[in-house]
Amino acid sequence: MGIKETIKALEVIGINELYLSRKLKEEKVETKKEKQEDRKELLKKLYEKWKDCTRCDLHKSRTQVVPGDGNPYSPLVFVGEAPGEEEDRQGRPFVGRAGQLLNRLIKEVLGMEREEVYITNVCKCRPPGNRKPTPIEMRACSPYLKEEIKIIQPKVICCLGATAGEGVLGKSLKITKVRGQVFVYPFNPKIKVFLTYHPAYVLRNPKEEETLIKDFMKLKELISQ
Ligand code: URA
């Protein structure tokens, strides 16, 4: 007999309250721990599958494939464009100047630590000279991002800049028009997609920092809904 049927049968004979034994509680904690290892393990396997990828020409100039980084159980995933010079060197996303601004916003506006969120990119290899990835490169890498999102199942994906938005939503867009807006993730309608400026754009245009802060305040609200 399954647990639901057991509870129904107990209700019939007048038992309406059940107490979990210590053993069952311990088993529950254990299952939770195992589950935590699951997503990390799945992401590791995914990276193993892609770490020698040659699906596009970026493999010729990259130092290494840069996988996503952070808490795979986070309700929030940030998606950037592609690794820059420092990310290509260190093998971690957003560790350069744009990453420092992102870390600051995560801490000061969202009240979270960087380690509490998950951060990744549309393209996992650095385009030479930090140019924008081409549609061919974005398409070649898209199954990696799709699989990452499927594993993490966040509440909200925050796209940093137009390229990230295009990679996640699969359509071209103008960031000045759509920033601050909420969309639905095409592969899972339960996931919200929020768009804002790329921190590197704000570093080049400091007067836009206020807009980015306002967007992060909206993002905070979205996560807590
Ligand atoms: N810019 C991005 O879009 N991604 C990074 O990882 C770093 C800078």
For residue range 62-111, list pLDDT tens digits in order: 999 999 999 999 999 999 999 999 999 999 999 999 999 999 999 999 99
Task: Look at residue 25 and tell me whether its pLDDT is greater than 60.
Answer: no
Task: Locate the domains of the chain by residue range.
Answer: 50-224
- The CA distances from residue 101 to 7, 89, 91, 129, 164, in Å, are 52, 19, 19, 21, 17
Q: How far is the CA of 20 from the centre of ligand 1 (A)?
A: 47
Q: How far is the CA of 145 from the centre of ligand 1 (A)?
A: 14
User: Ligand 1 in contact with 43 (CB < 6 A)?
Assistant: no
User: Ligand 1 in contact with 68 (CB < 6 A)?
Assistant: no
Closest ligand 1 atom number to CA of residue 93: 6
Closest ligand 1 atom number to CA of residue 66: 6
Pocket mutation for ligand 1, best pick of 63, 66, 85, 94 (most atoms within 8 Å of C-beta)? 94
CATH 3.40.50.1370 for domain 50-224, yes or no, is: no
CA dihedral of residues 163, 168, 169, 173 (deg, nearest 10): -10
Q: Kindly state the average pLDDT of the residues 119-139.
A: 97
User: Ligand 1 in contact with 77 (CB < 6 A)?
Assistant: no
Burial status of residue 90 (CB atoms within 10 A of its CB: 0-12, 13-18, 19 or more): middle
Quote the pTM value: 0.85
Residues 31-66 have pLDDT tens digits of 555 565 699 999 999 999 999 999 999 999 999 999
User: Ligand 1 in contact with 81 (CB < 6 A)?
Assistant: yes
- Per-residue pLDDT, 34: 53
User: Ligand 1 in contact with 78 (CB < 6 A)?
Assistant: no
User: Ligand 1 in contact with 199 (CB < 6 A)?
Assistant: no
- If phi > 0 it is left, if psi is from -120 to 50 it is alpha, else beta; for residue 170 that is left
Q: Are strands 192-196 and 156-160 parallel, antiparallel or unpaired?
A: parallel
User: Ligand 1 in contact with 82 (CB < 6 A)?
Assistant: yes
